[in-house]
Structure 1
């Protein structure tokens, strides 16, 4: 079963969320995220339930969870592309859309091949 509860430290590395635990906790309070006290931790440490997060956070966490499994079927690559696109900033999404319109799939394949060649050197 996938992880359901996340600490603020788990969330600070996700693009689009605050980059400090205090910022995460403030956002959680303002948005009313479902929380609970972290077991085994003294003090005010809390963790937040995945159902409380914005969609882009859920997508990011699901992609990270799936990447640990190393099991890929026919649908997962498409879901990975969609999840990756959803975590981009709006200007990054616009760049990708325009790039694909102008350069098309052949442009994408060219970039991929260049990366593969540079990694094999």
Structure 2
């Protein structure tokens, strides 16, 4: 894995981590993950060193994150590790998308609305 630092947004709900920034930062503080301020940003943005994360999180990131600029992604489901809420499950699904897939889904929903998106997925209530 080439990437050595991960933001709180990239770590939310990965491999059973908390589904909120506050929960994630609390756990990082308790477990003494190596952290640093985000470069070039104002505010309190943090990123955490890959090597200081729990082993299960390192494995999940290795399996689901880009290995290089060519965007190699896994197709293994991560819902089992998503936690208990629908939001945590959606976050886990979102993190499985490649950057291009994320952009396409967001553009579709913004352009055509969530109703059309659900119709395309054949989800009817």
Normalising TM by the smaller chain, what interval?
A: 0.5 to 0.7
| TM-aligned CA deviation for residue 26 of structure 1 | 0.5
Q: Contact between 1:34 and 1:52, CA under 8 Å: does it hold in 2?
A: yes
The aligned counterpart of 1:69 is: 72
Larger helix proportion of the pair: 1
Q: Contact between 2:15 and 2:56, CA under 8 Å: does it hold in 1?
A: no
Mapped pair 1:54 → 2:62: no
Taking structure 2 as the reference length, what is the TM-score of the superposition?
0.53
Mapped pair 1:23 → 2:26: no
What are the Cα deviations for residues 72-95 of structure 1, in whole angstroms up to 9, with x where unaligned?
xxxxxxxx8xxx6xx956xxxxxx
| TM-aligned CA deviation for residue 9 of structure 1 | 0.8
Distance (Å, rounded) in 2 between the aligned partners of 1:21 and 1:65: 19
Aligned residue-pair number: 78
How big is the alpha-carbon RMSD for the aligned residues of Structure 1 and Structure 2? 2.9
TM-aligned CA distance change 1:25 to 1:53, over 3 Å: same
The aligned counterpart of 2:32 is: 32
Say which SS state the counterpart of residue 13 (structure 2) adopts: coil
The structure whose RCO (Cα within 8 Å, separation 6+) is larger is: 2
Runs in 1 of length 4+ with deviation above 2 angstroms?
65-70
Say which SS state the counterpart of residue 56 (structure 1) adopts: helix
Structure 2: runs of 5 or more not aligned: 82-125
Q: Contact between 1:2 and 1:65, CA under 8 Å: does it hold in 2?
A: no
Larger Rg: 1
Distance (Å, rounded) in 2 between the aligned partners of 1:53 and 1:28: 8
Distance (Å, rounded) in 1 between the aligned partners of 2:7 and 2:64: 15
| TM-aligned CA deviation for residue 66 of structure 1 | 5.4
